[in-house]
Chain A
Amino acid sequence: MNERAAGRRAFSWCKAFTMWRLHCFILALLACSSAALANSQAITLINGQKSIELSVAELRKSASLEFSLYDPYQAADVEMRGIPFRDFLIEHFGSVPSALYFTAWDDYAVSLSGWDDPDWILVTHENNQPLTLRGRGPLRLVERDYADRDTENLREFNDWLWMIRSIEAKW
């Protein structure tokens, strides 16, 4: 009996410990998620030594260009809203840099040039909903006119940029 009682005590201690861990975990999770969401709500612009953070919410407010586009990744026509990327660059960097170095929330990083092109849009909304990480947001760069590219071949759209975290100007 004593053994059984001792076993029960041990089990209840163990259960209590497990519950404590779970509570810790949930608290940590909530802290993490709120921090992550808070982080993903901003974009960092780097120009030489100067670095600024822009609120995604502000960008969403200023997004006024609406258009409809066939999104090959969703295989559907999607209503998009955003900001002409060239205007965005001129506003924040003074002019269009010769190249840009992007990092994304999924740790994707790439350097691309040729941004003096009105076709590129920094998209903030999709079907009237603000973009989130799970929707490959909160900021996404898409090309409005993709000419004769085959929409069935996603490899032809691998210069689209998702989940943009920071943009660094390369002059």
Chain B
Amino acid sequence: MRPASSVPEPPQSNSLKGKRYVSWLTLSLMSFIALMILVGYEARWVYPEIRAYFSQTGNLTGQQLATRSRVYLQEVQTELLVSSPPAQDPPFLLTRLELAYGLFDVAVYRQTYSCVEPSLAQLDRLMSRLAQGEVDEVSAVRNLLAPIQCLTMIEMSQSDLRGEAINEFADDTRRHQVVLTFASLVIFLLGLVFWWRHECQLRRTRRATLQTLEWMEHAMRDPLTGVGNRSALHQDVLAADKQSHGLLLVDIDYFKQYNDTLGHPRGDEMLCRLSALIDEALNHEASLYRLGGDEFAALLPCGNRKELAHYCEGVIERVHQVAFEHPAHPDQKPVTLSLGAVCFVAGDTDFSLVYEAADKALYHVKASGRDGWKMADCKSCTSRSVCGAKGSSERRILARDLGKKALEERT
């Protein structure tokens, strides 16, 4: 009998276990999701910064406004000094000055650099004078020097600022990288720990399931002979497909006397030998069960009564051939068996009635002097209505007894 502690845990405990198992798994998954979010967030942080500092070519502020303004002013200078007369097509002197002014006149330059206001004023004056033709080339070129100098200074200063910003960004990036590395590592380790916990839980659950299955296997098996017990018989009958089967009930004749004479250990030994012998006689095609004491049952696929009769005869003959010694047999015979058999279709027939029919056949053999077999006519048990009309109360009692015995076997 299985000790009380080895009885499977109640359903409530199982459900709690299940919840805990889900929690570890959830925590683990959440850790990995958090890791992905962290990586995504950091990438999202870095990308716009990179775009701002390193991908500025081809847009409005890709090149410094000061640089573009200076280039226009220098173009004007060159045109004034080199061309004679100055180029007329395309017309660009005043246009270039206007463009230079527009690119120069930016609030951030005005606010940051003191040379901007005077330079713009100078450009303004120069444009007015040029428009009115009141200035010569040399004077015009000279007047452009201060604004160009201012713009050059702005360019250098802005480049320094840009460099500082890039350095700051690089420092930030390094800091973020360190944070990202450590945070990722911590979250990853947490995820691994949770996963490990989940695996442990899974293994415990699997082990418990295996133990339960093992226990169920034991519960269905006769510990002495290793064949199935009464519960297993009912289980197998319930699980059998709707085909013709044969049920053999086997009883050892005068087994009590055998035990009394040779002792229970020898009796147990005989039970084991006989179970192996019956299995062999049935060509290992039958499932064997020990129903209790010296009573065995065999369940096997069987097409018809003739085939079943052949099996019964085979078992009796095999026992006769082996001729186990039985010192206390009243008829001075070796060990003999009494068999009751019945052919039935699983699922179509109430098994309690099948069992009852086989049992009656067995007792008929017992009453007729033992050492033989008899096959019950199961016509009465194939029809539920007939059987029910004939002996419903008897069937209920038998069913109750079978259930009780099964329970006893299990515990």
Contacts and interface: CB of A to CB of B under 8 A. Distances in A.
Contacts of A105: 95, 99
A124 interface: no
A92 interface: no
Contacts of B111: 75
Contacts of A136: 102-103
A134 interface: yes
Contacts, number: 113
B68 interface: yes
B384 to A, nearest CB: 79
B85 interface: yes
A133 B133 contact: no
B10 interface: no
Contacts of B85: 21, 24-25, 28
Nearest to B131: A33
Q: How large is the interface on B (under 10, 10 to 19, 20 to 34, 35 or more residues)?
A: 35 or more
A158 B59 contact: yes
B56 interface: yes
Interface string B50-68: 0010001011111000001
B33 interface: no
Interface in B105-140: 105-108, 111, 130-131, 133, 136-137
Interface in A1-52: 18, 21-22, 24-26, 28-37, 39-40
Nearest to A38: B91
Interface stretch (A54-62, A81-89, A159-167): A159-167
Contact of B95 (A18, A28, A133, A155): A133
Contacts of A24: 85
Interface in B32-64: 52, 56, 58-62
Contacts of B103: 106, 136
Nearest to A35: B91
Nearest to B53: A155
Interface string A137-167: 0000000000000000111011111110000
Given A22-B137, A106-B99, A155 B52 contact: yes
Nearest to B109: A73
Q: Give the dominant DSSP class at A's interface.
A: helix
Contact of B91 (A36, A108, A157): A36
A106 to B, nearest CB: 5
A74 B102 contact: no
Contacts of B102: 106, 133-136, 162-163
A22 B136 contact: yes
B393 interface: no
B148 interface: no
A162 B60 contact: yes
Interface in A70-101: 72-76
B95 A158 contact: no
Contact of A134 (B98, B107, B136): B98
Q: Which 5 A-B pairs have the closest CB atoms?
A: A32-B91, A75-B107, A26-B133, A36-B95, A33-B94
22 contacts: A21-B137, A25-B137, A32-B87, A33-B94, A36-B90, A36-B91, A36-B98, A106-B68, A106-B99, A108-B60, A132-B98, A133-B95, A133-B98, A133-B99, A133-B101, A134-B102, A154-B108, A155-B56, A157-B60, A158-B60, A159-B60, A161-B60
Interface of A: 18, 21-22, 24-26, 28-37, 39-40, 72-76, 105-106, 108, 110, 132-136, 153-155, 157-163
